[in-house]
């Protein structure tokens, strides 16, 4: 398993950087060209969501993007550093399981409760538009959940893990499908 880790400030311009890096690492891992577009878009959505959450809650804190080439099937889970160090990564007892390309975008904004949908990202003045506040729902005016819906539609496997320290969006694609 090989890991590339990227830490970005919560700035919209850096979302593109994360997309480009994710695409480059995925291409090197052997992902099919058709899936590269999916990865690029899904990573962009996850990072955009994280950036907007940080700008609302903790603009000074960084966002982490991990690009993992060769996780075992179903290996998503556990602390990132621990997973990165665990080269065996047998997650669920499936020895020789299919290998995957996994992307984990971890923010440090407060995770919302399931029944508080739509209330966690309130944009109150640190807007991206000069001279005006960001509209409800962020830059687009759409709910951040739309971005998550897009991710679910694009990634082969998705896990969204809210925690005390923020939310991790884990997305993965099978490497075998690229052959």
Q: By CB under 8 A, tell whether 13 contacts another protein.
A: yes
Q: By CB under 8 A, tell whether 169 contacts another protein.
A: no
Q: By CB under 8 A, tell whether 179 contacts another protein.
A: no
Choose between 17 and 91: whose C-beta lies nearer to another protein: 17
The window from 65-73, 104-112, 116-124, 133-141 that contacts another protein (CB under 8 A) reads 133-141
List the one residue from 39, 89, 154, 168 that touches another protein (CB under 8 A): 154
The set of residues, in sequence order, having a beta carbon less than 8 Å from that of 67 and lying 6+ positions away, is 3, 4, 5, 6, 21, 22, 25, 26, 101, 102, 103
If you search the block for the tokens 């005006």, which residue do you land on? 132
List the one residue from 6, 147, 169, 172 that touches another protein (CB under 8 A): 147
Beta carbon of residue 45, minimum distance to another protein (angstroms, whole number): 6
Helix axis angle for 12-29 and 33-57, nearest 10°, is: 150
Residue 161, burial from CB neighbour count under 10 angstroms (0-12, 13-18, 19+): middle
Strand partners, 168: 106, 161
Return the structure tokens found at 62: 């960084």
Q: By CB under 8 A, tell whether 41 contacts another protein.
A: yes
CB-CB contact of 93 with 33 (8 Å): no
- How many Å apart are CA 158 and CA 172, to the nearest integer? 7
Q: By CB under 8 A, tell whether 129 contacts another protein.
A: yes
Beta carbon of residue 8, minimum distance to another protein (angstroms, whole number): 12
Return the structure tokens found at 133: 């506040």
The window from 87-95, 96-104, 117-125, 147-155 that contacts another protein (CB under 8 A) reads 147-155
Q: Catalog residues that contact another protein under the rule CB under 8 A.
A: 12-13, 15-16, 19, 37, 40-41, 44-45, 48, 51-52, 128-129, 137-142, 146-147, 149-150, 153-154
């Amino acid at each position: 398993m090989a890991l590339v880790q990227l830490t970005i400030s919560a700035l919209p311009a850096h979302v593109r950087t994360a997309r480009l890096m994710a695409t480059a690492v995925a291409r090197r891992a052997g992902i099919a060209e058709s899936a590269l577009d999916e990865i690029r878009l899904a990573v962009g959505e996850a990072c955009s969501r994280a950036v907007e959450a940080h700008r609302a809650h903790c603009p000074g804190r960084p966002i982490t993007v991990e690009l993992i080439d060769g996780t075992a099937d179903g290996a998503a889970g556990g602390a990132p550093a621990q997973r990165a160090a665990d080269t065996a990564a047998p997650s669920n007892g499936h020895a020789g399981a299919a290998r995957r390309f996994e992307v984990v975008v971890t923010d440090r904004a407060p995770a919302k409760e399931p029944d508080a949908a739509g209330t966690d990202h309130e944009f109150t003045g640190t807007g991206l538009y000069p001279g005006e506040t960001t509209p409800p729902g962020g830059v687009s005016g759409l709910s951040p959940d739309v971005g998550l819906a897009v991710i679910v539609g694009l990634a082969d496997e998705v896990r969204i893990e809210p925690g005390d320290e923020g939310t991790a969006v884990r997305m993965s694609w099978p490497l075998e499908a690229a052959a």
